[in-house]
Chain A
Amino acid sequence: MADGTLEKHLRERRDAGRKLLVPYITAGYPKDNWTRLVEGMAGAGADAIEIGIPFSDPVMDGPTIQESSTRALADGITPGLAFDGVSRLDIDVPLVAMTYYNICFRMGHERFAQSLKKAGFAAAILPDLPLEEAGEWAEVADVEGIETVMLAAPTASDERLPLVVERARGFVYGVGLVGITGERNELAASALKMASRLKAITDKPVLIGVGVSTPEQAAQLAEVADGVIVGSAVIRQILDTGSIDAAIDFVGSLRRGLDGD
């Protein structure tokens, strides 16, 4: 099924005037209730949810997400257990898997895509699989009905950006700054610039992530972008309080920030 469940869903909501919110969580963190966290975030107004499948060497991630991955791995999470947890979820918000390419490569492209599909994922993000290397995987994913979200970075030239956008399915993930994931006090100017560069060349949903940390930053960014992805700031709530409730409340506050109430 290559009908683009995720893209269709996001387009409809955007076209109805809604600003899109995609929070991130790490599968297996916290060990006992990460699936309840996903359900809670869906209830708190997420338009899609990104679920990280932990990898031992996450080079795109800063200390906060690294910490959640390390803990989840220590608690025994595996790709299979992550799929299993996801397949039991009862939500109507599309799910996006985020992991590093070796997890997919080790399993084999077809088996990985089919496992994602069977678990109920709509899409996948592989941050260390850039355009030049993505071809084989992305074709398999297209056939299996998994949308491959591509990352667009501020370092891309005006010649490169359209090529990345062209290969993107689901939405275009604009990287908000030159750097790795993590909370930032200020919204980087590069985030707004990335959003406007992407909006100028595509009608696909444009979401900006990496370094988006507060409801105010989300709202400011959504004036240009179609929406935001928030990861480290969500995980931070759980690391600090030891409870998923704070993270769910935080997603609610991001929602209200985007809705302007």
Chain B
Amino acid sequence: MGEPDDSGRFGRFGGRFVPETLVPACQELEQGFREAWSDDSFRREFEDLLQNYAGRPSPMTECSNLSNELGVRILLKREDLNHTGSHKINNVLGQTLLAKRMGKNRIVAETGAGQHGVATATAAAYFGQECVVYMGEVDVRRQALNVYRMELLGAEVRTAMSGSRTLKDAVNEAMRDWVASVESSYYCLGSVMGPHPYPWMVREFHRVLGEEALAQSKTMLNGDVPDVVVACVGGGSNAIGIFSGFVDTRSELVGVEPAGGAAVGRAVPGVVHGSLSYLMQDEFGQVNEAQSVSAGLDYPGVGPEHSHLADIGRARYEAVTDRQVLDAFSLLSRSEGIIPALEPSHALAWVVRCKAELQGKTVLINLSGRGDKDVAQVQAIQAGDPLALETVDFSTELEGS
């Protein structure tokens, strides 16, 4: 996967649609990242952090029980075993290290599930940076434990009360903060979205995931690669990370979106949060609210490079329902002793749904995070707690479900 063009575009998607106030900051960031990324000492420091602080490389696990049950050979890339419990730490360590290099000591971030917020608060604590995290009011409720984690790590969590009060609105608030504080603050975006250079830079920081997975697959598969590589897609950072390792191989690439947040699935382009990409919106261009049981995928947009990969047919994007996701969540817990986060449960849910089509194939699933944060929510849903039931849609059915 190469660089976007000078305007920050992957094919026809991407760009830099931000208020004029932020343009110089985006340019400065692009310059800063370019210099850092070609500087060996920066790379060494980043790699050292990934290894000795985050615990990389993450292992790859063969799932024999599940493979027997499904008739599909399943491998998991274990991003759940990273420090802070998800892939998010890769990007965050890269960006906070860059912020330090650029002399910015206040870090602003948005968060959905709280994983990016926790990862950012963690890195900010490590580097001694001030940290403010915006989180939608709905997410503050369903991910209460992560709110406390961030506070424990010394971050200030600000509740976003506008709009749907989920990730989309947390991004709006973080961008408003950045517009007002751009001279002193660094905006640590949590996925491969936003204005150029974020989609590219965040992908580069997650590339390690794909590189490791490629090497590990080759070892486990006698020099071969998996038939299919599958990952969940919110903004798309864990998916782009693992895809980056396999895009030049024969592996089929599949991104899985929640049925209520399928931006690529609906295939209507639009502009929000700084880039042109597929976007859930109404006929007038008002952005729709996404609906998903997983706070981390509850986002109406998608990173521009995914729109491009869909456009050129290199990756395909599928949707799964909340019910299928909850079933997959239980399945992996019982069969392999691994409690997945609800987000990567989407990737597994797709494999389960398509097991007939996948018989005898080898499928690599990016297990982007662990499920500890979701256990209370799932328990409450199963107990029929009315507030928890508001976070889930059991009415949507998909063909072939």
Contact = CB atoms under 8 A, between A and B. Distances in A.
Interface of A: 55-60, 62, 66, 70, 73, 78-80, 101-107, 127-133, 150-157, 160, 164, 175, 178-180
Contacts of A104: 285
Contacts, number: 116
A195 to B, nearest CB: 16
B21 interface: yes
B24 A127 contact: no
Contact of A101 (B17, B172, B183, B281): B17
A156 B20 contact: yes
Q: Which 7 A-B pairs have the closest CB atoms?
A: A106-B285, A179-B180, A153-B21, A56-B286, A151-B20, A153-B20, A102-B285
B287 A102 contact: yes
Contacts of A106: 270, 281, 283-285
B19 to A, nearest CB: 5
B163 interface: yes
A107 B285 contact: yes
B172 A59 contact: yes
A107 to B, nearest CB: 7
Interface of B: 7, 15-25, 162-163, 168, 172, 175-176, 179-183, 269-274, 276, 279, 281, 283-287
Contact of A151 (B19, B163, B274, B276): B19
A178 B180 contact: yes
Contacts of A70: 162-163
Nearest to A60: B19
Nearest to B6: A132
Contact of B19 (A56, A80, A130, A160): A130
Contacts of B17: 101, 128-130, 133
Given A128-B271, A153-B19, A66 B162 contact: yes
Contacts of B276: 105
Contacts of A128: 17-19, 271, 274
A90 to B, nearest CB: 27
Given A102-B287, A155-B182, A57 B15 contact: no
A80 B269 CA distance: 20
B170 to A, nearest CB: 12
A101 B271 contact: yes
Contact of B20 (A59, A101, A131, A180): A131
